[in-house]
Structure 1
Amino acid sequence: MGTAKGRAGNRIRKEIFAMHARPFQWQRVPIIWVFLLLIGLFQPAPPLQATTTPLPTEVMGVLKHYGIPMNAVSLMLKRVDQSQPVVSLNPYVARNPGSVIKLVTTLVALELLGPTHEWATRYLIDGILDQGELKGNLVIQGGGDPYLVTEIFFQHLRALRSRGILNISGDLIIDDSLFAPDQFDRGRFDDKPYRSYNVIPSAAMVNFSATRFSLTPKEKGISVAVEPEISNLEILNRIRVTEKKCRGDFAGWGYTIDQNANGTRVSLRGNYPRNCGNLEFTRAFLSNLDYTYGLFRAGWKELGGGFEGALLHGPVPQGAQEFFEGGSKPLKEVIAGINKFSNNTMARQLLMTLGSEIYGKPGSPGKGILGIERWLQSEGVDMPTLVLENGSGLSRICRVSASGLIHLLEKGWQSSYRPEFLSSLPIASTDGTMENRLEKEKPAGRVRIKTGLLDHVRSMAGYVTSEEGNRYLVALLVNHPLVDYESGNQVQDTLLRWILRH
């Protein structure tokens, strides 16, 4: 990069490399995580902080209505042009932020990699191309692209055909060694391994390894459509339509999973009330490697190509020749997908990318976390209670304080990449996870907020410009058994309305 900002980013990377000049042992990372967690959880707890000014009466009323005590809430509200906060309640208490932690991952990635950073997916031939037939294997070397969706992947396949590959007589080799294998299975977080938000990172992931199902009641029976088509995913539809009352989208029916040498069979069984109407949902039934292989086979066939080979997993064979390099969306668009729609898989891919870019192959969560921490330290961003696990917020051990988030937001406001960072945040009543919030107020781009939601966790952080033109930084963390989506939204919206008026 030739810009001053690019040179600064290179300087920071060099400083980080210098701090960790000895070979990085990624196998030791889990011990580091445990150590960081112990520091965050077992250091003497800071005393609960009194408010600088009284908490807005409206906000106190909502908390009281839902039975949420003040000591379960951390709040810091600060004007960008003032050093002292306007409101400060328990600002130094470490709490679980949920998806708000994505602000850390995306801002640091933006600063270290730059907004135009792209990922490369390489396609190599391990054999001879003779009059349209590849007599040998095709190799896909994953570059860790967080947004290699079906449409982009098929563009890559069309590019292979336009360059002369029509039929493949060998196998498909997938090299995903850019990232270290994840040591946890998909069901670790909530025992729901097929939910798409639980998909673990892979350098060769395509389309988040997810399949969209569409159920439509017909006069007789029910139709089931899947998108995209996966060659090694078989859907067996045994759902019966009934005239009973709808008691929930997933009440009365379910699915079973069977795996064999030919792929995975999903059997849909049970009773589906007609008045439940159409239903769409997304699941991840295949491993990342099996999904990429199955989507390749289906896509190659759809484009008219011939391929009957098997899936091979391993590094690029010696002597393989690079044939095509597929590009990606730039980072500034990727972080918009992460923050606006709170995509966990993309955030985790980005953390792995940071690890591989800073410390070299293979990328891992531990490398990415150390890179983030070193950058925060080098830039003087004070976040002493920060505990990261995977960069997405889908975690029980992730911790941060309201004060730490405000320091991060200040850094984002001062950044040369402020336009890209702010543009990535959901805009109230306009898009992303804030699309249906503050619809009566219609604040016209003046509320840019990232939210977080887990069981017993509701959080938000971002930027608000009041009706008087005052610019605020806000961070709100609520951890309590009585907080849920509805109560958390009420607390957040009440606070945001108050800020807009001031």
Structure 2
Amino acid sequence: MKIFKLITLLCILLVFGSAAAQNLQDRIQQILSSTRTNTDEYGIAIFSTNQNKFLFENNSEATLLPASTTKLYTTATAILFLGDEYTVNTEILTDDVNLTDNSIDGNIFLKGFGDPTFTIPNLQKMVSEIMAQGIKRISGNIIVDDSFFDEILFREEWIEDENRNVPLPAICATTIDKNSITLSLRGNSRTNRKPTVSIFPNLDYFTVVNSAKTTGRRTRIGTVVQQMQSGEKITVTGTIPRNRSSSIKVHIKNPPLFIGNLLKNLLIQGGIEFTGKILTRTSPEVLNLLVSNETPLISLISEINKRSDNFIAEHLFKIIGANYSEGSGGAFDATQAIFTFLKSTNLFEEEMSILDGSGISRNNQFSMKALVRLLTHMYFTKDDFEQFFNSLSIAGVDGTMGSRLVGTSAANNCRAKTGTLRGVTATAGYVTSKDNDLMIFAMNFNSFKRSASYYRDIMDNIISLLSETEISQRN
């Protein structure tokens, strides 16, 4: 009798569970039908971790342009391939073996390993630590080693039609202040006069040619940066209104040479005698470490997934490639590393294309089912899931999801990565249902006829519905 009752109860639960799942599918389909999405290219996939199956699929296997949801492949691969204790270092080393005489009788080497968050204050701190070691003089040269990455610094050099996309500064192993400087202008009190122009940091490495004018019209500033033999020439053009201030970021052409000159200035300002040259080349394998700046991998992943930072994502992409190739890492190596990981976990699909780490490229493509399978794999990789999950933007709280789903049961519940390009909007991540089922979802709309916000509202309505769902069936 007890066995009969148990079987009966299980049958009832299965019926109710199936009915609830069907009801969820109907309600999602109703949202899609009422918003006239039938003329758009889109894909949706939703997976239940309690039931270990897909609850909803619509065009889930269609390959779409994914925008910044591509970053989920970059960050997931980084965690699983590099490990959560991996650090991205910037080091200053020397070939002098005797550091007890307050003098470096040889060269110092600045070697970068691709830290995209390295800043001028970080470099200043490293110089202070060298000063604290009692160093008063450096007899040799400053040699900047950028060899951890390949020599292709700009995305347009490796991605076709890249000029259509968002421009990024150079992607290189020795990076500082996002490889940009600040150019500030102040309009003259009289029209047709040149504005005042200043740059930060102000180094003799830069030559500034001021061809801008003060006018009564709006600010329109342009710059042309040219690589010279020992520095960079910045030509400033355009207009700025009278007595108006404005500032823009200018991308550096040669970050390794720039950071070498910056290091030289900081050493001299700190009272360390230096009369050598600034060189860029590969450093010897055996050197003595003077100081190191270490950035945890997880902090980079959080910036990428929460704030969708493209610059950091492209550096992480090449870090993956460099570790995979055990040499000068490039975009090709990074793609091979990601595909090798996907093949080893049975997540690879032949139609996939991943050409960059940020998702800016319009040549990336994969399906929403493939993306949900990646997120599901991360969920079942328990040792790494918590840090991956915590790196995602929290709906209604922070990052790119910070203003979405406010006032719904998905707020402070849904963790997701967004993606936006011209004609593309996507959201993928996790949300917990009312009966504590962690739902994994991926939604993407391409080539749409309305505004991006219109389709974000559709996705938010579906996410909110998932958070309110009760299916109450666990296998």
TM-score range, shorter chain: 0.7 to 0.9
User: Contact 2:142–2:264 (CA<8 Å) still a contact in 1?
Assistant: no
Q: Distance in 2 between matches of 1:200 and 1:458?
A: 26
Matched position secondary structure for 1:459: strand
Secondary structure, counterpart of 2:87 in structure 1: coil
Residue 140 of structure 1 corresponds to which residue in structure 2? 110
Structure 1 residue 61: deviation in Å? 4.2
Q: Matches of residues 109-188 of structure 1 in structure 2 within 5 Å?
A: 109-126=78-95, 131-182=101-152, 186=156
Question: Which residue does the alignment assign to 2:401?
Answer: 434
1:457 is matched with 424
TM-score, with length taken from structure 2: 0.80
Alignment counterpart, residue 268 of structure 1, candidates 218, 228, 236:
236
SS of match in other structure, 1:297:
helix
Residue 76 of structure 1: aligned partner: 45
Q: Given the superposition, is the C-alpha separation of residues 270 and 355 from structure 1 closer, same or farther in structure 2, using an over 3 Å criterion?
A: closer
Instruction: Please tell me whether the aligned partners of residues 52 and 85 of structure 1 are also in contact (alpha carbons under 8 angstroms).
Output: no
**How many Å apart are 1:485 and its aligned residue?**
4.3
Higher Cα radius of gyration: 2
In structure 2, the residue matched to 1:32 is: none
Alignment-mate amino acid for residue 340 of structure 2 = R
CA contact (8 A) 2:65 2:365 kept: yes
SS at match of 2:222: strand
Cα distance in 1, alignment partners of residues 245 and 389 from structure 2: 36
Match of 1:365 in 2: 331
Matched residue, 2:301: 335
Q: Which runs of 5+ in 1 are unaligned?
A: 1-50
2:7 counterpart residue number = none
Q: 1:303 to 1:482 in 2, by over 3 A?
A: farther
Give the structure 1 partner of residue 70 of structure 2: 101
1:404 corresponds to: 370
Q: How far apart, CA to CA, are the structure 2 residues paired with 1:481 and 1:274? A: 43
Q: Which residue of 2 aligns with 1:208?
A: 178
Question: Structure 1's 418 and 219: CA in aligned 2 closer, same or farther, altered over 3 A?
Answer: farther
Is the 1:458–1:483 Cα contact (8 Å) retained in structure 2?
Answer: no
Q: Deviations over 1:125-173 (max 9, x none)?
A: 2457685443432212222334323332332222222223334343221
Q: Distance in 2 between matches of 1:399 and 1:156?
A: 42
Question: Offset of 1:223 from its aligned partner?
Answer: 6.4
User: Could you say if the C-alpha distance between residues 82 and 214 of structure 1 is closer, same or farther in structure 2, counting changes exceeding 3 Å?
Assistant: farther
Change in Cα spacing, 1:192 to 1:299, as seen in structure 2 (3 Å) is farther
Query: 1:255: Cα distance to partner?
Result: 2.4
Q: Give the drift of 1:180.
A: 2.5
- Tell me how far 1:462 sits from its aligned partner: 0.8
Letter in 1 for 2:429: G
Q: 2:351 aligns with which of 381, 385, 397?
A: 385
From the superposition, tell whether residues 213 and 55 of structure 1 become closer, same or farther in structure 2 (CA, over 3 Å): farther
Find the counterpart in structure 2 of residue 313 from structure 1. 280
2:290 aligns with one of 303, 311, 324: 324
Q: Deviations over 1:3-34 (max 9, x none)?
A: xxxxxxxxxxxxxxxxxxxxxxxxxxxxxxxx
Pair 1:352-2:318 in alignment: yes
Does the C-alpha gap of structure 1 residues 496 and 54 become closer, same or farther in structure 2, counting only changes over 3 Å?
closer
- Matched residues in 1 for 2:451 and 2:277: separation? 47
CA 1:213–1:53 in structure 2 vs 1: closer, same or farther (change >3 Å)? Answer: farther
Q: Which amino acid aligns with 1:178?
A: F
How big is the alpha-carbon RMSD for the aligned residues of Structure 1 and Structure 2? 3.4
Q: Does residue 90 in structure 1 map to residue 62 in structure 2?
A: no
Residue matched to 1:476: 443
Q: How many residues align?
A: 439
Residue equivalent to 2:17: none
* Residue equivalent to 1:284: 251
Report Cα offsets for 1:89-148 as digits up to 9, x if no partner.
110011111111111111121112221111333322245768544343221222233432
1:233 corresponds to = 206
Describe the SS at the equivalent of 1:417.
helix
